[in-house]
Structure 1
């Protein structure tokens, strides 16, 4: 059965599958019985007090937070975050970077042990998706299969194990210099953090920080701020954008904060700096 929902803030669909044992008397240790596809339009926030099964959420794009038990985790592209039975979750996306994610519901006595075997537990619910391409392919199959027809016998069992394996897969090793290059050349308006990029590539943040500082000559955060102000100067010199739009395009959510920071840096307000470029 497939259920659709649309609202001003988000839309989603999810499909359920009733697990069927492959033969009479056979116990199904692990199966996939629900898969969903969620797209936020920005400003999504929810509190889910009724988690009945382990439910991995696989983030395709966007950023936000997920919280339970007095702890909060930043969750972004390539992450997997598991909702666990009996642990209410509060979660919300960044209005400027809305989420798209898929979620799967796992059933069976091995659901929790299978997740624990790949490092996903109530004390550590956040991980990285090891093989995103395989995960995407399996989820697309699950959604299409449950929309039009029931899973073939045992397919929901095999797919559950395949998804666990794909989440756990170890990605190819990435050279730390490649990571530093990504850190230094990303979008200046939304630069990646060392924590996020280190977790994505499974490299210690301290290793990335030391190499980046040695390569760039200054701390990574200071280098990224330099790039944001360089972009601001180029946009101001173009003379077509209002200062508030320049601030937004450079990643400053508060135009007044941008103006103060610009004045501290260059000794004049953005509008005065622009006038001096005539």
Structure 2
């Protein structure tokens, strides 16, 4: 015996411009029949939350699937899988496509060459799937937009639940984030961790989907924007606080990556901060809590 529920959608051209669109969603459990061999023209994320089964990869190998796990079904790649006889498994799946799949693949959120991914848990992924399920009610005029947003959320949840890069278990990324504002080169960062630059690049690419230089730059520029918007620190002081001894180089880099000079960014953003200017440096780890105003 097995139980199954599924819906399929046909988003229009405008919806595809959202980056990702949902083509289908399903919830199944029990002794499900095997799927394939088959080849699809879009991506499918199959989330196994309980039970065991098997996956046959294009090289002819049969791999055991033990929940919690993710099956990546990539377009153009043959796949064949099924739940274990006698026990079955609990499965949810989401079919999706769109131009943003290329960027998500480059960043490591979609792994077409890694068809079986162990997970730490499936709670976040299942929450995203259930958002799609709720949006799939008949007559929902916002179905395509709501399901598109949930597919983005699903990819983020699955990336965070990977057993090899679960939150709190990647000391390299945590250490880089901690030391991001030190005036160190990538080679110097690698040496601090007892790694070669190549080893550091591999670790950061696996964990964050980008190079160490870009990872550090994202953190530095984000912090620089906060300081420019919420304090009166001179641009040279901002540059030093985020790791750049040469304020001219910092300004050129900021303008190239942000699209505007630091001074111009401050003029556009700073005065919108509630409460006006402040000489207090904002702490991203402890944001203010905005609650209801006290009654008069």
Query: Paired residue for 2:84?
Result: 94
1:168 has 2:179 as partner: no
The verdict on how the C-alpha distance between 1:53 and 1:14 changes in structure 2, with shifts beyond 3 A counting, is: same
In the TM superposition, what are the counterparts of 1:41-60 in structure 2 within 5 Å?
41=31, 44-60=33-49
The aligned runs of 1:50-129 (5 Å cut-off) are 50-70=39-59, 71-115=61-105, 117-118=107-108, 120-129=110-119
TM-score of the superposed pair, with normalisation by structure 2:
0.48
For the residue of structure 2 that corresponds to 1:62, the secondary structure is strand
Offset of 1:116 from its aligned partner? Answer: 5.0
Q: Any unmatched runs of 5+ in structure 2?
A: 170-296
Instruction: Summarize the Cα distance change of 1:164–1:19 in structure 2 as closer, same or farther, 3 Å threshold.
Output: same
State the Cα deviation string for residues 222-241 of structure 1 (Å, max 9, x = none).
xxxxxxxxxxxxxxxxxxxx
Following TM superposition, the consecutive aligned residue runs of length 4 or more in structure 1 with deviations greater than 6 angstroms are none
Query: Which residue of structure 1 aligns with residue 127 of structure 2?
Result: 137
SS of 1:100's equivalent in the other structure is strand
Q: Secondary structure at the match of 2:136?
A: helix
Q: 1:50-75: per-residue Cα shift (whole Å, max 9, x none)?
A: 31211010001110111121233322
1:83: Cα distance to partner?
1.0
Question: Alignment length, in residue pairs?
Answer: 163
Higher mean alpha-carbon deviation, 105-114 vs 50-59, is at: 105-114
For the structure 1 residues 130 and 30, does the alpha-carbon distance in structure 2 shift closer, same or farther, using more than 3 Å as the test? farther
Distance 2:22 2:100 in 1: 12
Rounded to whole Å, the distance in 1 between the matches of 2:87 and 2:166 is 25
Paired residue secondary structure (2:133): helix
The two structures, once aligned, show a CA RMSD in angstroms of: 2.7
Contact 1:55 1:103 in 2 (8 A): yes
Residue deviations 1:66-93 (CA, integer Å, cap 9, x gap): 1121233322212111111222212122
1:10 lines up with 2:2 in the alignment: yes
Q: Distance in 1 between matches of 2:88 and 2:121?
A: 23
Once the two structures are TM-superposed, the CA of residue 131 in structure 1 deviates from its matched residue by 6.1
